[in-house]
Amino acid sequence: MKERAALIDRTSRNDFVTYGMVIAAFVIVQILSSMGVLTNQLQGLLVPLCVYAIMAVSLNLVVGILGELSIGHAGFMCVGAFVSALFSNQVGGGMPSLLRFIIAILLGGIFAGIFGFLIGVPVLRLNGDYLAIVTLAFGEIIKNIINAVYIGIDGSGLHASLTSANKLVDAETGVILINGPQGITGTPRDSSFLIGILLLLVSLVIALNLTHSRDGRAIMSIRDNHIAAESVGINITKYKLTAFTLSAVIAGFAGALYAHNLATLTATSARFGYNMSIMFLVFVVLGGIGNFRGGIIAAVLLTLIPELLRFLSNYRMLIYAIILIVMMIISWNPASRAFMEKHRLGGHLFKKKNTAGKEGE
C-alpha cells in the first residue's frame, strides 16, 4: 500500500484536482438549478457543454500527448452519434432506458474506435500538416457518406441505398432507419447533465491514466523525438494507433451523448463538419496543448460566451472573435503568465508549453 500511496502522491495529485473541478462544477450547477437561477437557455446548454468538454479531452490525447494534428475529430463523433442512435431506436422500449443508453454509449465508442483504427493505419504514416489534411478529408467523408445513405430494415434484413428511400424496404413491415439527409428521428432523449458529467469523468480517467502509464510514456516519447524512441525499441506504429484509437473511442462517447440529446439527428456541417473539428482544436490550443484541465475550461468558456452574448445579436460573433484573440494573448503572453503565476490566478489554466507532457503542473 505504501508504494501505491507514493505513486498517487507524485503523478495523480493533479489528476484529482481535475476530477474535483468537474465534480465541483456539477455541484454548483445543481445548486444554481435548484435555486431556479438557471435560464432555460442555459439548462439546454448543459449537455452540449459536456459533449464539447469530452471532445476537448479526446482531441487533447492526439494533439497534446501524441503530438499529431487531427482536424477530423467531428467525424468520429458523428460515427458514435449515428451508431448509438440506431441502436437506441431499434431497441426502443425493449430495455430499461439507462441500460439501453449505457450500451448505446459503449457501441458508439467501439464503432468510432474501429473507424479510428481503420483510418489510423494508413493515415498515421504521415505527420504534421499532411496528417492534418488527410484527417480533415476523412472527417468530411464520414459525415458526407452518412448524410447520403438510406438504411432500412424489414423482414428480409437490412437494406441500404445511396439514392432514395423509395422501395428500399417492404411497405408493410419495413422501417427506415437512416433517411438520408433527414437523418434519424425519434431517438430517446436519454442524455442528462448527470450522465454527461459521469461520461466526462470516465473520459478523463481513460486519458489521464493512459498518459501516466508505460503506454503513455511511449506515446509521449514518440511526440518528443521519434528517432530516439525507435532507437530505444519503441514500436512507433503501435503506440500512435493506440493513442489515435482511444481518442476516437472517447469522441464516440461524446457523439452518443450528443445524439441522445436531439430529437432529430442529421449529419449536417453545422453539427459534424470541419468547423466543429476546428473548434475542438481551438479548445485544445487555448486550454494549453496537453493540458486536459485547461482544454475542458476552454471548451466550457468558448461554448458559453457566444450564448451569453446573444443579446448583442449581429455583433455577437465580432465580440466573440475579439474575446478569443484577447484570451490567446493573455494565455500565451509571458508577462501575463508570470503575473498569474505570482498571484496564483489560474496559472494552471494557461500552463507553460514546456510542461505540456505533465498536464496541470
* Phi, psi values for residue 175, rounded to 5°: -130, 135
Nearest distance from C-beta of residue 9 to other proteins, angstroms: 10
Find the length of the chain: 361
Q: How far is the CB of 60 from other proteins (least distance, A)?
A: 14
Of residues 294, 279, 300, the one with CA closest to residue 71:
279
When the beta carbons of 146 and 284 are compared against other proteins, the nearer one is 284
CA pair distance 62, 181, nearest whole angstrom: 30
Considering the complex, what minimum distance in angstroms separates the CB of residue 356 from other proteins?
A: 6
Q: Closer CB to other proteins, residue 216 or residue 252?
A: 216
Phi and psi at residue 36, in whole multiples of 5°? Answer: 75, 20
Nearest to 51 by CA among 28, 27, 84, 15: 84
Task: Identify the CA nearest to 207 among candidates 254, 247, 240, 241.
Answer: 247
Q: Which is nearer to other proteins, 62 or 142 (CB)?
A: 62
In the bound state with other proteins, the residue whose beta carbon lies nearer, of 4 and 310, is 4
Q: How far is the CB of 168 from other proteins (least distance, A)?
A: 41
- Strand, coil or helix: what is 68? coil
Cβ neighbour number for residue 193 with a 10 Å cutoff = 17
CA distance 354 to 343: 20
CB 242 within 8 Å of CB 219? yes
Q: Which is nearer to other proteins, 39 or 235 (CB)?
A: 235
Query: Closer CB to other proteins, residue 145 or residue 224?
Result: 224
Footprint of other proteins (CB under 8 A): 3-4, 7, 10, 205-206, 209-210, 212-218, 220-221, 223-225, 227-235, 242, 290, 354-358
For the CB of residue 296, give the shortest distance to other proteins in the complex, in Å: 19
The Cα 89–Cα 110 span in angstroms is: 18
Q: How far is the CB of 113 from other proteins (least distance, A)?
A: 13
